[in-house]
Structure 1
Amino acid sequence: MNYFLPLILGFTAASVGVAPPGLLNMTAAKVSAVDGRNRAVIFALGASVTVIFQTYIAVLFAKFIDRNPDVIVLLQEIGLFIFSGLTFYFFWAGKKKKKQQEELKMKSKTSRFFLGMLLSLLNLLPIPYYVFLSVWFSRKGWFFFNQSYIWLFVLGAVVGSFLIFYLYILFFKKKEVDKPSFLMTNGNYIIGTVTGIISLVTLFKIINS
């Protein structure tokens, strides 16, 4: 068995999923700019801990789907509803006037760690994302739903997520956080476009099923 493959799959999936500007990586950059790199790393560690549970739950759910193909159509319909709603939400959020960001005032490393865990917990998008990918990887023959593969996939996802957080911490300076770049300014539109494409693909699959 190739135990290196699920590690790479998890790492790649997380890197691609976390790379677009979002709540977690931009908060990590903000913490770095305001309170320093060390506290930002503590925040990223807290967020990464939550990724462990999110990814594991997602893969277990994907395992159930893979063994019960009859529920796939129902889940596609639910997914269409969810991703359509997310598309409208992100485009609506992109049009909202940006409020001035308040500086984070929590000073202890412990508070940063649990802030990272909390914000990551509130971000539910990774669960359907990893469900879809792990089922797809399984159908391609790249991934198997045994404990070794699952935990290596989870490990890869955690490492990939933390790496992206750390890159945001390293490369976004204070002026770049205070004056957002094109990606930061249009992040909601980018995510909304991605969820819109997923919605169209899901609708096409439902029509042709």
Structure 2
Amino acid sequence: MDLALVLIFGFLATFIATLPPGLINITSAKISLNEGHTRGVMFALGACLVIIVQALIATISARYLSNHPDVVGVLRIVAMIIFALLSIYFLFIAKHNEQNKKEDDSRSKTKRFFHGMFLSGINFFPIPFQAYVAMTMASYGFMKFENLDIAAFVISSSFGAFVSLYLYMHFFEKIKDHKIASKKVMNYMIGAITGVVAIYTLISILKDL
């Protein structure tokens, strides 16, 4: 019964956390629309592979992270800088690149897989979130930090993220003829999201000083 709860809560926690518009899910939808569903899925699989590693790190180091907020603070600073640069790129640079050159149709599925790994890898926020979820489950006795429970949590978390990304791809494919699904609008959406995340992270860092 405890193992079933770990699977359910691990899936739901990551699924719900991935539902709000973010860099990974909007990018997966954009790739699916512009380059085909298969490449969107490859991007999502690459992102979820990193989420597996992040969930494993978060679960194993849950207690350590709770006792060492300075480590989380360093990760937040790095993430803020990266998201600020991504915001500048998608708001001011990406649209000009699309106007000045044709879309590169030679992008392979493998490149999109590693693209998903890269974007998921620079997003450090899931680690403290998943650590918090694991610690909360452990505090209620639903989860023990044993190999089987950790494996169940990691697998269910990655599966929850993949289902959320797949739903985004499916949703945008349904509205592909709408203006919101255009390349320009989706670049603005990604740029706005990364900008908001960068500003929010900066504010949280300043509050902790």
Match of 1:100 among 94, 97, 108: 94
Query: Helix, strand or coil: the match of 1:3?
Result: helix
Match of 2:69 among 76, 82, 107: 76
**Residue number in structure 1 paired with 2:18:** 18
Q: CA deviation at 1:123?
A: 2.1
Structure 1 regions of 5+ residues with no counterpart? 66-70, 204-209
Matches of 2:77 and 2:87, distance apart in 1: 16
Q: CA deviation at 1:27?
A: 1.6
**Residue number in structure 1 paired with 2:146:** 146
Q: CA deviation at 1:10?
A: 1.2
Matches of 1:148 and 1:54, distance apart in 2: 17
Among all aligned residue pairs of Structure 1 and Structure 2, give the percentage whose two residues are the same amino acid.
32
Matches of 1:12 and 1:199, distance apart in 2: 28
- Contact conserved, 2:19 with 2:164, CA < 8 A, in 1? yes
Letter in 1 for 2:54: Q
Matches of 2:80 and 2:44, distance apart in 1: 27
Query: Alignment length, in residue pairs?
Result: 196
- Contact conserved, 1:134 with 1:143, CA < 8 A, in 2? yes
Query: Helix, strand or coil: the match of 2:107?
Result: coil
1:187 correspondence with 2:180: no
Q: CA deviation at 1:59?
A: 0.6
Structure 2 regions of 5+ residues with no counterpart? none
Change (3 A) 1:117 1:90: closer
Matches of 1:199 and 1:12, distance apart in 2: 28
Please provide the CA RMSD for this pair.
3.4
Change (3 A) 1:195 1:12: farther
- Contact conserved, 1:14 with 1:157, CA < 8 A, in 2? yes
Q: CA deviation at 1:137?
A: 2.1
Q: CA deviation at 1:87?
A: 6.9
